[in-house]
Every structure is written in C-alpha cells, then in structure tokens.
Chains A and B, each alone.
Chain A
C-alpha cells in the first residue's frame, strides 16, 4: 500500500474542508472496499479522512419518512426496527450483501460509494477506462460474463455491485449531502449513480469533498408486499449475477403501484420502468408479471458471455414479484 496521511474528523465541516482541499483525499468509512482497493493499488489516495466518528449514525423518523445516517453501519440499519417494519425491502437487500463481518463495518454512505468488482478494474495490469481513463475496456470483448446488459457504453461495461442501492432505487430514496461552506443539497436516488457514457471513471454525481450525511426513505405502502431476490453463483457471500428489488401495493387484486429495480445488470441500479408502467393498473397475476418482465428485457443488450442474464432477469423479476405478493417471506416465491 502506498503511504498516505490519516486524520480523524471531529465534525462534518472539517471533513469536507480537508477532502475538498486535496484532490487526492478520500473519506474513510468502514473501509471494506477502499482499503482493499488500496492494497491492490487500484486506488492510491494521498490522504484519508476518517469520518466514522461523525454524529451521522442515527436512524430516525422524519416528517416524510425515515432518515438513515450515512455513518450508521449496514448491519445496524438492516436490523433497526424502523427499517425492518417499514422498509423490509431495504433490510432484505442489505442482508443479501457481503457477510456479517463486512456489514458490521460497512457504512451506508460507503455502500453507495463502493466501486465495481469488475475484474479488469481490479487487475492493474489490464486496460480499464474506469481505473485509468483512456486505457480502454478489457471487458467489452473480454470475459464479460458478470457484466452489464443495460446502459453500457463502448468505454465501460461494468456493473454496480451494491444490493442496498438496488433497494434504495426501488424506494425512491433521497441522498442528503454536504459540501464546502456548509452547502447542503439533496440528490434523487435515480440521479445519484451514473451510466458510464464517456466518463466511466465517475461512478456518481458527488463532487470532490461532498459528504453524504443521510439517506432519506419516503413513506410508502409497500411494507406488506416487498421482496429482494438475489441470484448468485453460491448461496451466500457472493455478488449478484442478477438481483431484483420488488415492491407492490394493491387495490383489490389490481396493482396500484409497483417498483422494480435490478442489480447486477448495469452501471447503476436499474429501475425497470418499462415493466412498472406495463403492470400499473393490471391484475397481480404471474402471467402479467412474466409479460412485464418480457417487455423490460426487450431493451437488453447482452454481451458475448452474459446472454444468460436476459433469461435470468425475466425469471427473477417474476419470482421477486411473486415473493412480494406472498408477503416478503423468504423462500416461498417461485
């Protein structure tokens, strides 16, 4: 690991000022991804500002929903009563990711800032526009089994690895950030992460030094019917090939509102808005779920080695919606 200066920030303004002033500086949360990337020499910040002692770890009710603190751990968040009862989709998604040890370390803000696990990004001997802009994309014509089927560009076909973010996309979360001179702003979750386009080195729309302070979850009526389904190559502790966050509310058997977001298929959590539109107002039947999934996946552009993801995503969407209909009880769906 390359040398770096370490400091602990006592308050958000100090943290923001330090990282804003140095383009080589990074915030350090749980470090579960950043420290690993530093060991691999994929990232080599000259300065780390430890923000884990900031008072941003609360999970509390707001006028319009629940706010989860950026430095609260993933484990604490998934197990918090407010989240388990009102946003079970978020609990399920967080618990689908990583291991208990990692969830005990990882922070909510850090989860949104984690980097892709594309092997070309991780291997410093390979070309990667995300790691080294202009060097090319090794995965585009390489081993791209785990890569994107939606929204990729010639510059980058990586997928976003977070499970938590897939649920946050489905829940229309709002990210609260603080910048220099106490400049606070909010970012709609759909606008937080980016598609690769010509600048895959930018994962999200945060500016250097901008600090996530909390993530707000708007009130919804999905608690009774939501489900997170994750398909992976071993049954636990692996990244998703395809994952689906599904949530429904009904009037009779008619779908009043539906949210579907996919993980493992794009450079950001992929809102299946075609399927959502198709299903709204229709009956909540398996046949309709399947038809909606078909409609969504019509737009998929698979790569050489990941054509299986198209069929997998269709079935996963159907199963996740069924799981939501069955009350989000693990293991019943499909």
Chain B
C-alpha cells in the first residue's frame, strides 16, 4: 500500500491541493466520491480565503471524480469579458453574451445559493443585490454587470455569524423546503434599506409625503415582498422575521425545541 502512489489518477498538483486541504480524509473522498460534509468543509475552506487558483484546481478535480461543472471557457463566440465584484471578491469572467448573472453565479462560480425557480422573473428565487438594490439575476445578463458590486446569499453572513435577517428567518421558521429562502432573505435585506430611505410602495397611504423612513405594517411588508413567491406558504413567518429585524420587539417566536428551549 505504502509504495503505491496514493492516487494515480490525479496529477501531482491536484493531489497536493487535496492533501493540503484534508490529508486524513483523502482516501475516503476519492473512493466514495465527494460527500456532503466534505463538500461543506471545502466550502468553509474556500470561504476563509483559499486562493482562487486552488479553488479552480479543486473544481477541475471534482469534475474528474464526479460530474461537476465544466472548466471555464477559453474562447467563445459572442464572448464578453466582465470584471465585477461578487461578495467582496473581484471576479473576471469570460461569458457567452446569453449567459444570465444567475447562471454565471451558479455554473461558473459555484455560488449555488441563488436559486433558479421559474427563470422568467416571476418567482424571485434568484434575487440578489446589485449595488445594494435587489434585482432578479435570471433576467440580468452577466455581460451587463461590468463594474457592478453583487451580493448573494453567500455574502450576507460575517464568517460564522449570520446576518440578522438569516437569524430571524431561522428563529421564526420563515421557510419549509427552503428553495425560495435565499431570494426571500436577499429581498428582505434590501427591503430594510428601502424602508430606511423612505421609499414608497403601492399601499403607502400617501406617496406625496416623501422623505421619512417608513414604518412597515404587515400590509406594507407583504406588498413589498410580493416579488418573492413561497410555494410552501411560509408567508406569515416570513413577515414575522422581517418585522423583528425592522425593529418590532414584540414578535413572538412560533416554535421551540421539544425540551422547551428556544
């Protein structure tokens, strides 16, 4: 055993990257395929400052051992070079002019938090923030994002500390299947700054009174969140989570653990 090269399928470079990451668990990964906890570890490592070059190496490695994403293209018909910032990190991408920001995030950058629900701008599951404003990444061509600052669900937490909106969604059980949740949370985060800026909605009593921060009623929250559909129907709990982050201290948590703790 000891004499054989550990993994003859891999190049020296690929083996080194993997060994650097988790030498103890390498055999298991290669023989049994990439498991969820390893994947989470990988994500944790990449999230704490692994070099982009190493990440690409891992991406290619995964492509050989599993059926992962293809390597980035070298040349494209109608290719567009885009330099933008995503979750605080500068990215340079060569994209097909047809590629949406959503597909670029998911297929090219492995940021799969943003979800493809309808892919037609009707469900909000793909909501991300561009320059601080919430938009639909499924209707945004990646080519149009030059110099933009993009924040996705992956960019909201500070290390292990959840964004207050993420914590509130957990506390108030603001989801069931979770598919719409990244979009709901990005949307709700933007909603907080819109309310602070005094932006109006269709149900604002008097749009002529401009300029003051808006106190959000449940009706206001529902109207302003109408671009995010939840098929599980977690709406009441989503409204509660948003109310709490908006400053309403009286929102009661709707669930507790079986032993009575919360």
| Chain A residues within CB distance 8 Å of chain B | 1-6, 8, 28, 30-32, 35-36, 38-40, 48, 50, 52, 75, 78-79, 81, 84-85, 88, 91-92, 95-96, 98-102, 104-105, 223, 230, 235-237, 327-331
CB nearest neighbor in A for B95: A6
Known: A5-B78, A104-B134, A236-B222. A31 touches B187 (CB 8 A): no
Interface digits, B119-140 against A, CB 8 Å rule (1 contact, 0 not)?
A: 1110010010000011110011
Which residues of chain A come closer than 8 Å to B206, judged between CB atoms? 327-330
Cβ contacts A to B, 17 pairs, < 8 Å = A3-B78, A5-B78, A6-B78, A36-B121, A39-B120, A85-B208, A88-B207, A88-B208, A95-B204, A99-B124, A100-B134, A102-B227, A105-B139, A237-B226, A327-B206, A328-B207, A329-B206
CA distance A230 to B64 in the complex (A): 55
CB nearest neighbor in A for B197: A79
Q: Is the CB of B119 within 8 A of A39?
A: yes
Which residues of chain B come closer than 8 Å to A2, judged between CB atoms? 98
Known: A99-B226, A100-B194. A105 touches B136 (CB 8 A): yes
Give the contacting residue for B135; candidates A50, A84, A96, A105; CB below 8 A.
Answer: A105
The segment out of B11-19, B141-149, B250-258 that lies at the interface is: B141-149
Within B60-80, the residues touching A (CB, 8 Å) are 77-78, 80
Closest CB-CB distance, B43 to chain A, in whole Å?
26
User: For the complex, is B190 an interface residue (Cβ under 8 Å from A)?
Assistant: yes
Sort chain B's interface into a size bin: 35 or more
Q: Is the CB of B227 within 8 A of A100?
A: yes
| Chain B residues within CB distance 8 Å of chain A | 77-78, 80, 96-98, 100, 119-121, 124, 127, 133-136, 139-141, 143-144, 146, 187, 190-191, 194, 197-208, 210-211, 222-224, 226-228
Which residues of chain A come closer than 8 Å to B133, judged between CB atoms? 75, 104
Known: A3-B78, A100-B191. A330 touches B139 (CB 8 A): no
Closest CB-CB distance, B96 to chain A, in whole Å?
8
Which residues of chain A come closer than 8 Å to B98, judged between CB atoms? 1-4, 38
Q: Is the CB of B97 within 8 A of A48?
A: yes
Nearest first, the 3 closest Cβ-Cβ pairs linking A and B are A99-B227, A236-B226, A6-B97
CA distance A30 to B78 in the complex (A): 20
Q: Is the CB of B202 within 8 A of A95?
A: yes
Which residues of chain B come closer than 8 Å to A98, judged between CB atoms? 227
CB nearest neighbor in A for B204: A330
Closest CB-CB distance, A248 to chain B, in whole Å?
15
Closest CB-CB distance, B68 to chain A, in whole Å?
24
Which residues of chain A come closer than 8 Å to B222, judged between CB atoms? 236
CB nearest neighbor in B for A40: B120
Which residues of chain B come closer than 8 Å to A4, judged between CB atoms? 78, 97-98
CA distance A72 to B221 in the complex (A): 25
Closest CB-CB distance, B203 to chain A, in whole Å?
6
Q: Is the CB of A330 within 8 A of B208?
A: no
Which residues of chain A come closer than 8 Å to B211, judged between CB atoms? 81
Q: Is the CB of A79 within 8 A of B100?
A: no
Other than the given A6-B97, A100-B191, 18 more pairs (CB < 8 A) read A3-B77, A31-B144, A36-B120, A50-B144, A75-B199, A78-B200, A79-B197, A79-B210, A91-B200, A95-B204, A95-B207, A99-B228, A100-B201, A101-B121, A104-B135, A327-B206, A331-B203, A331-B205
For the complex, would chain A's binding face be called helix, strand, loop or mixed by DSSP majority?
mixed
Closest CB-CB distance, B152 to chain A, in whole Å?
14
Give the number of A-B contacts (CB < 8 Å).
Answer: 129
CA distance A327 to B207 in the complex (A): 10
Give the contacting residue for A223; candidates B136, B197, B208, B223; CB below 8 A.
Answer: B208
Closest CB-CB distance, B224 to chain A, in whole Å?
6
CA distance A223 to B209 in the complex (A): 12
Closest CB-CB distance, A119 to chain B, in whole Å?
13
Closest CB-CB distance, A164 to chain B, in whole Å?
13
Q: Is the CB of B201 within 8 A of A95?
A: yes
CA distance A180 to B134 in the complex (A): 35
Give the contacting residue for B187; candidates A91, A101, A223, A331; CB below 8 A.
Answer: A101
Q: Is the CB of A236 within 8 A of B202?
A: yes
Which residues of chain A come closer than 8 Å to B127, judged between CB atoms? 101
CA distance A114 to B152 in the complex (A): 28
Q: Is the CB of B208 within 8 A of A52?
A: no
**Residue among B80, B136, B191 having the largest count of chain A Cβ atoms under 10 Å:** B136
Closest CB-CB distance, B45 to chain A, in whole Å?
32
Which residues of chain A come closer than 8 Å to B141, judged between CB atoms? 6, 28, 31, 35, 48
Q: Is the CB of A102 within 8 A of B208?
A: no
CB nearest neighbor in B for A228: B202
Q: Is the CB of B210 within 8 A of A101?
A: no
Closest CB-CB distance, B89 to chain A, in whole Å?
23
Closest CB-CB distance, B98 to chain A, in whole Å?
4
CA distance A6 to B100 in the complex (A): 13
Which residues of chain B come closer than 8 Å to A235, judged between CB atoms? 223, 226
Q: Is the CB of B134 within 8 A of A32?
A: no
Known: A35-B100, A100-B224, A327-B206. A79 touches B136 (CB 8 A): no
Q: Is the CB of A100 within 8 A of B190?
A: yes
Known: A98-B227, A100-B227. A52 touches B200 (CB 8 A): no
Which residues of chain A come closer than 8 Å to B200, judged between CB atoms? 78-79, 84, 91, 95
